[in-house]
Structure 1
Amino acid sequence: MKTIYLNADTIDKTFEQLKTNIGGTILKESNEYILEIRNKFGQGTIQGVVLSGGISYIEFDLKFYDDIIISINTPRKNPIYFAYCSQGSLAHSTGIDGKRTELQSFQTGIISSKPKEENVLYFKKNERLNITLITVQATRSSNKSISTSLKSKLYNTFIKDEKLENFVYVGSQNLKIAEKIQQIHAIRQKGLVRTLLIQGLVNVILALEIQQHADDEKNRNRHLGILTTSEMKIIKQVSEYIEENFDRPLSISFLCSEFGITALKLQEGFKLMHGRTVSTHIKWVRVQKAEEYLKHTDMNISEIVYSIGFSSRSYFSKIFKESFNCSPREYKEAQKVLPISA
């Protein structure tokens, strides 16, 4: 077992301390850091980015070859941590001797603690992990002009100003957050555009975590239907399959048979992850692909209709107009005008 002590107030120093303890190579571009690890401690990456508003985003995507403890202590700051587990599990305690709370796959977690209190994270050996940690430097404010800021609201909600109590919350499973993290992975832009896109998605993840906490508090005494971790993984696999095979005939019965899940669980999972039914999501994916083809290819509308898995041009035009408030032809013509006007 190896214990790593992090006491840095900035992300660059945090990555330097991680490198000192577990080795690896640090790559830096703009305000983004990547620690690539391929040694006796493990294999994978730890990636972090500094965002505006006192927010930072760190993602652990790796496998450790030994049990690893990371003790985080920032005595000059009082952050709130928003955790999400996409794969594997993560345990936490306040102080090295504190009670451990475990975060399982697809669960959310919110952590705040007293000043100078250690937040200890436990990573299991030989377990593939994908853990995201959003850190918000929350502050109390008596200034009315900024008392409604995000940091002030988070401080008042989770830090419990009067008592300064430790706060640890493990929430219900949430597939929508997994989808947003996938969208972060899909960003290919560089520089300022990349940072702005990450900032937007991280803000959405924060909103989803806070909403999850509110929903769990509201539904604490109600018996609600819930998917198992294995079922949640299947929902994620089905969603990825639709994204990659949108041009093929797709039906609920086929997907249920292919992935070994009931229609009821499949629909429940898609409402959790995407906020829509399976059939509606398939149409949504196809229309998004059609929009890409209209914008970036010379394919005519009939070619696009059949390439995305539709058989009716009129039906495609109908649902495209519902999404973009114009016909596919009008959209394609607009793409010819935009470069000229630019």
Structure 2
Amino acid sequence: MKTTHIKSIKIEKIFTELHNNFGGNLEIISNEYKLDLNGNFGRGTIKGIALKNGISYIEFDVTLTDEVVISMMATKNLPIYFTYCSEGSVSHSFGGNSGSVALEKYQTGILTCKRAEENILTFKKEDRTKISLIVVNTTKSETVEGSSLNQRLRNTFFEDSQLDSSVFIGSYNLKIGEKIKELNAIRHTGIVRSLMIEGIVHLILALEIQQRKDDLAAEANATGCLSSKEMEKVKEISEFITNYPENDYTLKMLSRKSGLSNSKLQEGFKFLHDRTVRDFIINERIKKSEQLIRTTDLNISEVVYSIGFTSRSYFSKIFKQKYDCSPKFYKDNQNSLAATA
């Protein structure tokens, strides 16, 4: 077992400690850090970026050759760690031989820690683990006392000035995983990159807080929750529909393909996309139609039938609902409309 102690929430000190312990190649560009492991302790990448207002984002995507413990010591800044597991699993415990809890694939975790106590994350040996941490310094002050995001988070998670340690493990959430993919897909540079990263990180933070709120509200009713494997099936079916929206789908056929009951499938789509299965299929067809109108020479009737619709009038109606204009008008003015679609 290998243990790494991190005694700061400053991104540069965190990566200095990680580099000292794991070796590898550390690359620093502007305020972004990237540590590529060289195989001595495992394979993969650890990335991080410092954002405004005492917020940092760190992402581990690693397969380690030994069990690794990362001990994050609480500081006077009273950090909150908003976590999300995209692959594998990690266990969390506090210092002092306390019991551990597991953070599994697609789950969120919110970790608070009083001064002089440790948040301990344990990575399994030889398992690919992808985990994201949004670290928030809750004592960051601004001009108007009590108005900053940091102060509001402190008031929410350290209630009534009782600065106790706590860990909240949320239910499964695929939307956060999709936002993390968007984050990793950013190819812009300079200020555009910084603004896009900051926007997505703040959105992930909002989704994690909302997940906690929803879970606490539903705590008394544990029925109807999907397992991680079931959510994975919903995700696979969603991607299949997105790739082939023109197919003639039925709920029965999709249920059989996924191995889920009709009700489980509908529940998963409502949770992941906030739509029924039917509405999701229609939305994906309309998105595909917009792409075809914009990028091909197909006429409107050809587009309608190529995406699985049989009624041009129905297609025109729902296209206008989404893009606020008729398909013909969109095609005739695509250069000016495509940017706002």
Provide the TM-score with structure 1 as the length reference: 0.88
Structure 2 Cα separation of the partners of residues 24 and 142 of structure 1: 38
2:289 alignment counterpart: 290
Identity level (%):
46
Q: Please give the secondary structure, in 1, of the residue aligned with 2:37.
A: strand
Structure 2 Cα separation of the partners of residues 305 and 66 of structure 1: 55
1:43 alignment counterpart: 43
Task: Confirm whether residue 61 of structure 1 aligns to residue 61 of structure 2.
Answer: yes
1:232 alignment counterpart: 231
1:81 alignment counterpart: 81
Task: Confirm whether residue 98 of structure 1 aligns to residue 126 of structure 2.
Answer: no
- What residue identity is the alignment partner of 1:243? T
What's the offset of the Cα at 1:39?
Answer: 0.3
Structure 1 Cα separation of the partners of residues 129 and 219 of structure 2: 29
Task: Confirm whether residue 241 of structure 1 aligns to residue 240 of structure 2.
Answer: yes
- What residue identity is the alignment partner of 2:261? T
- What residue identity is the alignment partner of 2:42? G
Q: Which moves more between the two structures, 320-329 or 132-141?
A: 132-141
Q: Which moves more between the two structures, 210-219 or 79-88?
A: 210-219
1:209 alignment counterpart: 208
1:14 alignment counterpart: 14
User: Could you list the per-position Cα deviations for residues 190-222 of structure 1 after superposition, in whole angstroms to 9, with x for gaps in the alignment?
Assistant: 333233223222222222221222222222222
Task: Confirm whether residue 265 of structure 1 aligns to residue 259 of structure 2.
Answer: no
CA contact (8 A) 2:87 2:130 kept: yes
Structure 2 Cα separation of the partners of residues 172 and 193 of structure 1: 33
Assess, with a 3 A threshold, how the Cα gap between structure 1 residues 124 and 323 changes in structure 2: closer, same or farther: same
Assess, with a 3 A threshold, how the Cα gap between structure 1 residues 149 and 64 changes in structure 2: closer, same or farther: same
2:253 alignment counterpart: 254
Assess, with a 3 A threshold, how the Cα gap between structure 1 residues 73 and 321 changes in structure 2: closer, same or farther: same
2:189 alignment counterpart: 190
2:329 alignment counterpart: 330
CA contact (8 A) 1:159 1:167 kept: no
Q: Please give the secondary structure, in 1, of the residue aligned with 2:53.
A: coil
- What residue identity is the alignment partner of 1:255? L
1:152 alignment counterpart: 151
User: Could you list the per-position Cα deviations for residues 312-340 of structure 1 after superposition, in whole angstroms to 9, with x for gaps in the alignment?
Assistant: 4333322221112122233334433479x
Assess, with a 3 A threshold, how the Cα gap between structure 1 residues 24 and 140 changes in structure 2: closer, same or farther: closer
CA contact (8 A) 1:270 1:276 kept: yes
- What residue identity is the alignment partner of 1:288? K
Task: Confirm whether residue 129 of structure 1 aligns to residue 140 of structure 2.
Answer: no
Structure 1 Cα separation of the partners of residues 248 and 31 of structure 2: 43
CA contact (8 A) 2:54 2:140 kept: no
CA contact (8 A) 1:9 1:76 kept: no
Total equivalences in the alignment? 338
Assess, with a 3 A threshold, how the Cα gap between structure 1 residues 219 and 260 changes in structure 2: closer, same or farther: closer
Structure 1 Cα separation of the partners of residues 273 and 145 of structure 2: 34
CA contact (8 A) 1:140 1:156 kept: no
- What residue identity is the alignment partner of 1:222? N
CA contact (8 A) 1:179 1:273 kept: no
Q: Please give the secondary structure, in 1, of the residue aligned with 2:282.
A: helix
What's the offset of the Cα at 1:119?
Answer: 1.3
Gap regions ≥5 residues in structure 2: none
What's the offset of the Cα at 1:271?
Answer: 0.9
Structure 2 Cα separation of the partners of residues 176 and 30 of structure 1: 29
2:71 alignment counterpart: 71
Output the aligned Cα RMSD: 2.6
What's the offset of the Cα at 1:83?
Answer: 0.9
CA contact (8 A) 1:23 1:39 kept: no
User: Could you list the per-position Cα deviations for residues 284-338 of structure 1 after superposition, in whole angstroms to 9, with x for gaps in the alignment?
Assistant: 2232333344445555444544454444433332222111212223333443347
